[in-house]
């Protein structure tokens, strides 16, 4: 007759072994790749989501940290942050006494050099006259020595004149003057402090003109020189539109966004104050490229069209609505319209295309269509 307790002890190892084998036989769980959301539109004759406004930030046309060319203790520092200054106004001054002494010494040496040169000229003239009247009373060598002494004295005059000019400049440099009309935005030292040459003293900003840098897509940059009626609105003054002009067009695109920097410039208005750092948007009228009537062609946002680094033609990312996979497709672009750029060939109305992040997608990548409206 078997012992029930012993039977239980024999069954327990069998169960433990089965559990271990069962856990070892389970296959590892594969991590599923996250499906990236991509902003997209369905192609139509008048596509939405593309504007002619580009964001930017205001900056001053000139901003400089001023410093002395000489060193010494400050004796006047009459300006403070926020003060408006005119070109030529004295912003700070160094004790000039050491430089006045240096200038006086240089002038004294110049006076002595001029007196020596006068005597040397007289000696030369006298020796030359003796030689002319009585050749036996002197010699040509003696005349040549007197002439050399005179030339050396003249050279010393030129040297001392340069020293006087340099000492006079140093004395002038003890006064730090505003290079243009502007506003003091920072003071970097205290009055009566001893400063050294090229030490930053005060920062002056020229706010009479305002600049803004906007980033333009690569497929628009060639049209920028012909843009008309450029207007800028700053966020603190949404009801005010300022006329702007193109100051500079960048010739190197960003490696990440494939956009080019364009610098706009506008005059500071009298009734409002645009400060550096204020955000705003710029708009303009773009010329229409191409000829002929293409009003029946589909229109897509400008940001949807790009030129891959290894290609020379325009492309878009077409999204398969069922599978969500993206595919690169060559397109031929046409006219610019108020809502985007026309596609003459390569797209059909009803197809889905990516309109953001086009430089970071890859062929065959699975995405999720996001129809949120974007602003350029």
* Cα of 363 vs its chain's centroid, Å: 35
- The region of weakest confidence among 40-49, 150-159, 192-201 is 40-49
* pLDDT of 141 strictly over 80: yes
> Considering just the CA atoms, what is the radius of gyration of the chain in Å?
40
**Residue keyed to tokens 């672009």:** 333
Q: How confident is the model at residue 30 (pLDDT cuts 50, 70, 90)?
A: low
Mean pLDDT of the region 70-74: 97
Which H or E element spans position 142?
A: helix 140-172
* pLDDT of 161 strictly over 80: yes
pLDDT, one tens digit per residue, over 86-107 is 999 999 999 999 999 999 999 9
| Separation of alpha carbons 326 and 315, rounded Å | 12
Q: Do domains 37-51+291-370 and 62-96+174-203 have the same CATH topology?
A: no
Q: Which of 296, 286, 294, 307 is nearest to 50 (CA)?
A: 286
* pLDDT of 183 strictly over 70: yes
Tell me if residue 191 falls in helix, strand or coil.
coil
* Predicted local distance difference test score (pLDDT) of residue 291: 45
Domain definitions of the chain by residue range: 37-51+291-370, 62-96+174-203, 97-172
Mean pLDDT of the region 234-255: 92
Q: 62-96+174-203, what's its fold?
A: OB fold (Dihydrolipoamide Acetyltransferase, E2P) (2.40.50)
Q: Which of 242, 276, 280, 233 is nearest to 60 (CA)?
A: 276
Instruction: Please state, rounded to an integer, the average pLDDT across all residues of the chain.
Output: 85
Which H or E element spans position 106?
A: helix 97-133
* pLDDT of 375 strictly over 50: no
* pLDDT of 70 strictly over 90: yes
* pLDDT of 47 strictly over 50: no
* pLDDT of 46 strictly over 60: no
Record the tokens describing residue 19, joined without a space: 């559990």
Q: What percent of the chain has pLDDT over 90?
A: 58
- The region of weakest confidence among 4-13, 232-241, 301-310 is 4-13
Tell me the CATH class for 37-51+291-370. Answer: mainly beta
């Amino acid at each position: 007759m078997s012992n029930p307790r012993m039977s239980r002890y024999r069954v327990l190892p069998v169960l433990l072994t089965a559990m271990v084998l069962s856990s070892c036989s389970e296959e590892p769980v594969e991590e599923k790749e996250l499906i990236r959301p991509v902003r997209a539109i369905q192609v139509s004759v008048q596509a939405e989501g593309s504007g002619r406004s580009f964001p930017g930030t205001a900056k001053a046309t000139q901003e400089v940290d001023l410093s002395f060319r000489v060193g010494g203790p400050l004796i006047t520092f009459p300006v403070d942050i926020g003060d408006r200054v005119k070109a030529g106004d004295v912003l700070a001054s160094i004790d000039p006494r050491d430089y006045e002494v240096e200038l006086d010494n240089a002038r004294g040496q110049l006076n002595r050099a001029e007196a020596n040169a006068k005597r040397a000229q007289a000696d030369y003239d006298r020796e030359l006259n003796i030689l002319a009247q009585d050749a036996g009373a002197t010699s040509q060598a003696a005349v040549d020595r007197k002439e050399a002494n005179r030339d050396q004295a003249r050279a010393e005059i030129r040297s001392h004149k340069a020293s006087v000019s340099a000492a006079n400049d140093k004395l002038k440099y003890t006064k730090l003057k505003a290079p243009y009309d502007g506003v003091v935005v920072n003071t970097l030292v205290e009055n009566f402090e001893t400063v050294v040459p090229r030490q930053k003293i005060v920062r002056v900003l020229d706010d009479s003109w305002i600049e803004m840098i906007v980033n333009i897509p690569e497929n628009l940059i060639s049209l920028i020189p012909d843009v008309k009626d450029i207007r800028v609105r700053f966020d603190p003054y949404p009801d005010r539109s300022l006329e702007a002009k193109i100051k500079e067009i960048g010739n190197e695109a960003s490696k990440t966004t494939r956009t080019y920097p364009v610098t706009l410039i506008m005059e500071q208005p009298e009734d409002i104050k645009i400060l550096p750092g204020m955000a705003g948007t710029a708009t303009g009228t773009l010329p229409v490229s191409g000829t002929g009537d293409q009003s029946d062609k589909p229109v897509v946002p400008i940001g949807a069209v790009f030129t891959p680094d290894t290609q020379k033609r325009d492309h878009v990312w077409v999204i398969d609505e069922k599978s969500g996979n993206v595919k690169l497709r060559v397109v031929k672009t046409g006219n610019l319209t108020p809502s985007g750029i026309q596609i003459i060939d390569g797209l059909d109305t009803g197809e889905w295309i990516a309109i953001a992040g086009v430089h970071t997608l890859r062929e065959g990548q699975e995405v999720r269509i996001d129809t949120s409206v974007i602003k350029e």
